[in-house]
Amino acid sequence: MTLKLETIASHLAGLEETLIYKLLDRAQFAGNPGAYRPGQSRFRPHEVSSLFELRLHHQEKLDTLFGRYLIPEERPFYLALPPPRRVPTQGETGLVIQDLETVNVTGPIRTDYLAMLPGLCGDGDDGQWGSSVEHDVICLQALSRRIHYGALYVGESKYREAPEKFAALVAAGDDSGLMAAITRAAVEETVLARVMAKVKAVQSVSDPALRRLVDPGVIVDFFRSTIIPLTKEGEIHYLYQRKPGV
């Protein structure tokens, strides 16, 4: 696999577009804070977990059967999921990685997503907890896919551009050197501008009588403060585990 940065960038832009649509779908429901509080799921028999946790865990137990987490960029939020019953067809990835779970930043993805929700949806309660957490799972899966795709494939393609330099930084344990080496400030600004334009364009064709519109700044800020930094954190995890010379 050639791992052309151009192809990777175009795929990332597609994943970002999907993510924007999913976040705007979630925003059609209220924040529904009770859906995220332990013990309030109203499951019978009683469950300690929140409705959100129950939904996410059940969905991942289903998805793992179908082999979702054998795809490099599909990293799960839960550990110890059952084994897959199916192996999806996949071409050669071009990645050099033994254990995909060494590049898993779903912990901070979940934390940051839940912290962003009140900005996206407000803190009201419309009673639609089930639909809300169903959309949360879709958003988290789209986030995990976008962030880990960037971490893995952008990480590998940057390594290939300067293998000696990255091998030396890794050997020296130089985190800030690695961060400097993978950061492309101009590309980040381009991404943020594209997200702003995309949210505005999508909402421009929505009927405000049917759909609640969102402040595009909320989504742009989420890209700036969470998606881009966690992608770079994942890239560094990837580079640390990558065997040099392969």
Task: Give the residues lining the site for its own copies (CB under 8 A).
Answer: 10, 13-14, 17-18, 21, 25, 41-45, 51, 54-55, 58-59, 62, 65-68, 85-91, 127, 129-130, 134, 198, 201-202, 204-207, 209-211
Distance of closest approach, residue 172 Cβ to its own copies, in angstroms: 39
Cis ω for the linkage preceding 38 (within 30 of 0): no
Distance of closest approach, residue 58 Cβ to its own copies, in angstroms: 5
DSSP 8-state secondary structure symbol assigned to residue 103? S
Distance of closest approach, residue 47 Cβ to its own copies, in angstroms: 8
Question: Which C-beta is closer to its own copies: that of 135 or that of 242?
Answer: 135
Quote the CA–CA distance of 211 and 28 in Å, as a whole number. Answer: 7
Question: Which C-beta is closer to its own copies: that of 72 or that of 130?
Answer: 130
For 157-193, letters b (16+ CB in 10 Å) and e give: bbbeeeeeebbebbeeeeeeebeebbeeeeebeebbe
Question: Which C-beta is closer to its own copies: that of 18 or that of 93?
Answer: 18
Distance of closest approach, residue 85 Cβ to its own copies, in angstroms: 5
Distance of closest approach, residue 133 Cβ to its own copies, in angstroms: 8
Question: Which C-beta is closer to its own copies: that of 70 or that of 179?
Answer: 70
Say if CB 146 and CB 16 are below 8 A apart. yes
Say if CB 148 and CB 73 are below 8 A apart. yes
Distance of closest approach, residue 40 Cβ to its own copies, in angstroms: 11
DSSP 8-state secondary structure symbol assigned to residue 68? G
Can you tell me whether residue 114 is helix, strand or coil?
helix
Say if CB 72 and CB 152 are below 8 A apart. yes
Question: Which C-beta is closer to its own copies: that of 28 or that of 241?
Answer: 28
Question: Which C-beta is closer to its own copies: that of 65 or that of 167?
Answer: 65
